């Protein structure tokens, strides 16, 4: 952690998690493979796939990159996934987004068996979080919880404000934090005064997709700010990636801030690999391997 700038170093956290996964895979030996599914020629997802492939290599996991044709039917996709569910050499299935318009992504996520759902996107996996079973949670939500833990703040009774209530980040992150003992307030586009809530929080987690939404006036001095937003903006003729938080201004007030890029993103990829270990243990326990 770079204390001088109050920035939480997501890359360092990623390395620690990948080292833990590597220790497991080295002990086990040859593991079943992770399968990445990209439907159509989707340049937007290619950077994520590359990052996942590199993380898998570092973690000692085989990574099978499949690109299915853009005109593949919904039923064909489902049958291919069901075949992978039955394949003992497939450890986990990663369905990359976006998908073509004619593909129902939620239906395909539901087709991935919960024991092979390393992304934590099957409705059953998300439902398990309600019962405090958070071992196979959505990766970005889990990454935000991991980064809060990096601050050393005690989770029990921690006042957390979650800005954003998406099904894959905001809602599961809120439920995961409640499972850790935190008191969570969820704000969204119909919340009357987000700042009124965020100014009293020990931790503010932001996942909206609106560049610079959170400024220093919205943060309690010394609070932790976890920025999940990824936005591309143009500045002086150059495109750059920024989060939902005004990082430079907020870090003068906050105790900790995650930078964008270099904060939540790297940890999300590492959590995916950690989920693969959980999947392996659960498949072993179920007698699948």
Domains and CATH numbers, the chain: 32-114 (3.40.50.10860), 137-265 (3.40.50.720)
pLDDT at site 235: 87
Q: How far is CA 93 from CA 60, 144, 189, in A?
A: 17, 22, 33
Q: How far apart are CA 94 and CA 52, in angstroms?
A: 10
Q: Report how far apart, in Å, the C-alpha atoms of 141 and of each of 144, 190, 226, 228, 230 are.
A: 5, 22, 11, 9, 14
Residue 2 has a pLDDT of 45
> pLDDT per residue over 237-276, tens digit each?
899 999 999 999 999 999 999 999 999 999 999 999 999 9
Per-residue confidence (pLDDT) for residue 226, from 0 to 100: 98
Distance CA 219, CA 243 (A): 16
By the 8 A CB rule, do 96 and 45 touch? yes
pTM, two decimals, is 0.95
- Please list the pLDDT of the chain residue by residue as tens digits (289 residues): 444 468 999 999 999 999 999 999 999 999 999 999 999 988 878 889 999 999 999 999 999 999 999 999 999 999 999 999 999 999 999 999 999 999 999 999 999 999 999 999 999 999 999 999 999 999 999 999 999 999 999 999 999 999 999 999 999 999 999 999 999 999 999 999 999 999 999 999 999 999 999 999 999 999 999 999 999 999 888 999 999 999 999 999 999 999 999 999 999 999 999 999 999 999 999 999 8
Angle between helices 139-150 and 264-285 (to 10 degrees): 110
**Predicted confidence (pLDDT) per residue in 175-194, tens digit:** 999 999 999 999 999 999 99
Q: Is the peptide bond before 261 cis (omega within 30 degrees of 0)?
A: yes
Task: Tell me what pLDDT residue 42 has.
Answer: 81
């Amino acid at each position: 952690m770079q204390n001088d700038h109050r920035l939480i170093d997501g890359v360092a956290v990623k390395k620690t998690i990948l080292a833990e996964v590597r220790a497991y895979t080295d002990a086990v030996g040859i593991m079943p493979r992770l399968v990445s599914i990209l439907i159509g020629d989707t340049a937007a997802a290619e950077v994520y796939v590359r990052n996942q492939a590199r993380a898998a290599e570092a973690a000692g996991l085989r990574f099978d990159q499949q690109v299915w044709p853009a005109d593949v039917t919904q039923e064909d996709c489902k049958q291919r996934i069901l075949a992978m569910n039955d394949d003992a050499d497939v450890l986990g299935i990663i369905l990359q987004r976006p998908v073509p318009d004619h593909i129902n992504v939620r239906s395909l996520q539901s087709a991935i068996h919960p024991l092979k759902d390393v992304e934590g996107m099957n409705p059953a996996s998300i439902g398990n979080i309600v019962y405090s079973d958070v071992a196979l949670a959505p990766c970005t939500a889990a990454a935000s919880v991991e980064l809060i833990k990096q601050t050393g703040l005690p989770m029990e009774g921690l006042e957390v404000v979650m800005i954003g209530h998406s099904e894959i980040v905001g809602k599961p992150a809120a439920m995961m934090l409640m499972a850790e003992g935190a008191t969570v307030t969820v704000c969204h586009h119909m919340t009357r005064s987000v700042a009124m809530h965020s100014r009293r929080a020990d931790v503010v987690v932001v996942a909206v997709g609106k560049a610079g939404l959170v400024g220093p006036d919205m943060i309690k001095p010394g609070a932790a700010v976890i920025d999940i937003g990824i936005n591309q903006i143009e500045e002086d003729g150059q495109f750059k990636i920024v989060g939902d938080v005004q990082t430079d201004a907020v870090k003068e007030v906050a105790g900790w801030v995650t930078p964008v890029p270099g904060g939540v993103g790297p940890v999300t990829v590492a959590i995916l690999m950690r989920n693969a270990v959980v999947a392996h243990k659960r498949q072993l326990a179920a007698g699948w391997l």
